[in-house]
Chain A
Amino acid sequence: MGLPVTLRIALRALAKNKMRASLTVLGVVIGIAAVTTMVSVGQSASRLVQDQFESFGTNVIVIFPGSQRGNGVNRGRSSPTLTAKDSDAIERECQAVLAASPMVFAGGQLIHGNLNWSPKEMVGVGPTYLSVRNWPIRRGSFFTSSDVNNAAKVCVIGQTVVDKLFQTRDPLGKSIRINNIPFRIIGILQKKGANLVGEDQDDLVLAPFTTIRKRMRGSLFNNVDIIMASARSANLSREAEYQITSLLFERHQILPGDDPDFEVQDTREIAQTLGVITGTLTTMLSAIAGISLLVGGVGIMNIMLVSVTERTREIGIRMAVGARGRDILLQFLVEAVLLSVLGGIVGLTLGTLASIGITTAINEWTSGTKWPVVISIPAAIVAILFASAVGVFFGFYPARRASRLDPIEALRYE
């Protein structure tokens, strides 16, 4: 018997018992829907991570001052070992580095007129900081090296600060007081949105690091908190990391074999680590969802066994008029596969809708996050193939049982 005919017979057999057929496939529907949702949301999470790292600045490398260890003596945790000169040298001498900027962190209160705001970040940076972060200025300009040299009281603010202190008025050229020191606003940054953990990145004030260090921290030293650099391209980030490391080894006169007094961290590494974490999570959740698919398969097997028993007479009739074992086997196998594939298609549709719903809900409730909706065609194909594999696997035993019935006894079956 040809496959099209077998398919038609199977379809008709299922149509005769619609209620049972739909209950039977429910397990597969739920299983496939769960797997699809998990994979889709997982993929959108890793896409989000990637996007975030790209928005943070492409190929950013962060240099931390490290615990300085010499002759086996630990000389303190965050020793002030990095200077602005290190940063300049990195930018000047490391070929793979596009730009580098020192960073000095501070905190405090902003006052403009009768409005108050305490920004999340107040950072002193160098004139090339925006190149490092790949962050354009929306209006006005950024401060220059001479501003840095003079520790000028100028600042550039993010959109959130604009909203909090100026609302609709133009902040350019206005003066704000930071911890009671008056600063002139010379530029406004392009809006960047929330970062990976949902923090507003636009809630910040940037000023020359010299100004922050001297006027706000009152520090007499010339160290900086960290240095942030960026590689010229993604491919060069490893090379840049290497060049920075060897340059700083030289500048800090660290002997081979000694631990360095700094630490270089490539954000791509963090991105990769996060990617691995989300990937593992996705795999784990999918595996759990896969178990429900397995349960669904057992459900199909169960009903197919019942169906074989119920239709013993039919099998006997078919055998009497000339159906061979494999005709019967194929008939029941096709029925099982059809069930599971139909379940797979329904499950895939539900899962896709669910993942769209989940990402939309996350975007709705967590302001600022933009989870992308990821619908993967290969994943859909795999899901359908997997569903049919479940059908073949769990349908085979009942089908074989049917094909091995004795026609005489099957005909006599009441």
Chain B
Amino acid sequence: MSLIELRDIRKIYQLEEVEVQALRGVSLDLDVGEFVALMGPSGSGKSTMMNTLGCLDRPTSGSYLLDGEEVVTMSRDQRARLRNRKIGFVFQNFNLLARTSALENVELPLMYGAGMSSRRRRDKAASLLEKVGLGDRMGHHPGQLSGGQQQRVAIARSLVNDPAILMADEPTGNLDSRTSREIMDLFQELNAESSITIILVTHDLEVGRAARRAIVLRDGEIVVDSSEFSHAVRALHSSIGEETAP
């Protein structure tokens, strides 16, 4: 059994009178320990796919089994629990709580989880900050940290609940190229050593190259699903070509 099983997932947004099909029957299997890059031009359904996989949103139809649990029929609160236990998020704009220390930001998911003593929470958060190389910045607020450091705090936060899946949405979008590489190295390291499944949403080919499997979406459908990155590159170029063609 795969960690993630998507079967004929459809998402339809009702925008006033117009129906927009963001996902048109996506089926996908992901196993434990995979490192997947989810790519595609804007409007391809990337974000919807990511929100669906992250259990933030519910598809209109289809079936999504996460670790054997059906997500599609879950209530808001059930999905919140599931996110808390199984999924860690890393965002483009870091999404850390302002004026709150790095340590407390990392602790946050534990606050909403099963009862853990404040001491254990603290220790756990501290050890993760050490792991991402911020052992000496625990008391700093996001405003006192550089972009790369903030993203490391966010990564520590996403790992604190020992999730099965790490969802990274354009994690390097706000970082310079050197810091981007460092962050991607960190992802690869995590994937290698702790067999965490990483789903990386990006439009940046260089960033996507870090993944071992590339999935390209276009118009709400998967057009490429390959471990050969060059296939994805070709598909993306052709779509860009179509878009820019006169």
**8 Å CB contacts to B: which residues of A289-329?**
313-314, 316-327
B200 to chain A, nearest CB (A): 17
A317 and B95 form a contact (CB under 8 A): yes
Partner of B89, one of A1, A320, A325: A320
Partner of B84, one of A316, A317, A321, A411: A321
A408 at the interface (CB under 8 A from B): yes
A322 and B56 form a contact (CB under 8 A): no
A322 to chain B, nearest CB (A): 2
CB within 8 Å: A-B pair count:
58
CA A327 to CA B85, docked complex, whole Å = 16
Q: Which residue of A lies closest to B99 (CB)?
A: A16
- A320-B95 CB under 8 A given contacts A1-B112, A408-B51: yes
A2 at the interface (CB under 8 A from B): yes
Partner of B113, one of A318, A319, A322: A322
**8 Å CB contacts to B: which residues of A362-414?**
407-408, 411
A5 at the interface (CB under 8 A from B): yes
Partner of A324, one of B80, B96, B99, B118: B80
B95 and A411 form a contact (CB under 8 A): yes
B97 at the interface (CB under 8 A from A): yes
Interface string of B73-87 (1 = CB under 8 A from A): 000110011011100
Secondary structure type dominating chain A contacts: helix
A319 and B80 form a contact (CB under 8 A): yes
- CB-CB under 8 A from A407, the residues of chain B are 56
Partner of B77, one of A314, A324, A411: A324
- CB-CB under 8 A from A1, the residues of chain B are 111-112
CA A313 to CA B93, docked complex, whole Å = 11
- CB-CB under 8 A from B113, the residues of chain A are 322
Q: Which residue of A lies closest to B157 (CB)?
A: A321
CA A322 to CA B113, docked complex, whole Å = 7
B108 and A318 form a contact (CB under 8 A): yes
CA A403 to CA B24, docked complex, whole Å = 31
- A323-B91 CB under 8 A given contacts A16-B99, A318-B112: no
A5 to chain B, nearest CB (A): 6
B148 at the interface (CB under 8 A from A): no
Interface string of B110-122 (1 = CB under 8 A from A): 0111010010000
Partner of A321, one of B57, B89, B99, B118: B89
Q: Which residue of B lies closest to A6 (CB)?
A: B111
CA A16 to CA B83, docked complex, whole Å = 29
CA A219 to CA B157, docked complex, whole Å = 104
- A5-B57 CB under 8 A given contacts A321-B89, A323-B80: no
| Max count, chain B CB within 10 A of own CB: residue among A2, A16, A319, A321 | A321
CA A1 to CA B114, docked complex, whole Å = 8
**8 Å CB contacts to B: which residues of A198-236?**
none
B40 at the interface (CB under 8 A from A): no
- CB-CB under 8 A from B56, the residues of chain A are 320, 407-408, 411
A241 to chain B, nearest CB (A): 69
| Max count, chain A CB within 10 A of own CB: residue among B98, B99, B111 | B111
Interface string of A1-44 (1 = CB under 8 A from B): 11001000000100010000000000000000000000000000
B112 and A322 form a contact (CB under 8 A): yes
- CB-CB under 8 A from A320, the residues of chain B are 54, 56, 83, 89, 95
- CB-CB under 8 A from B89, the residues of chain A are 320-321
- CB-CB under 8 A from A326, the residues of chain B are 77
- CB-CB under 8 A from B80, the residues of chain A are 319, 322-325
Which residues of chain B have a CB within 8 Å of any CB of chain A?
Answer: 51, 54, 56-57, 76-77, 80-81, 83-85, 89, 91, 95-100, 108-109, 111-113, 115, 118, 157, 161
Which residues of chain A have a CB within 8 Å of any CB of chain B?
Answer: 1-2, 5, 12, 16, 313-314, 316-327, 407-408, 411
Q: Which are the 10 A-B pairs with shortest beta-carbon distances?
A: A322-B84, A321-B109, A322-B112, A324-B77, A324-B80, A323-B112, A317-B95, A407-B56, A320-B89, A408-B56
Given A1-B112, A321-B89, 18 further pairs, Cβ under 8 A: A314-B97, A317-B97, A318-B108, A318-B112, A320-B54, A320-B83, A320-B89, A321-B108, A322-B83, A322-B85, A322-B109, A322-B113, A323-B80, A323-B112, A324-B77, A325-B76, A408-B51, A411-B56
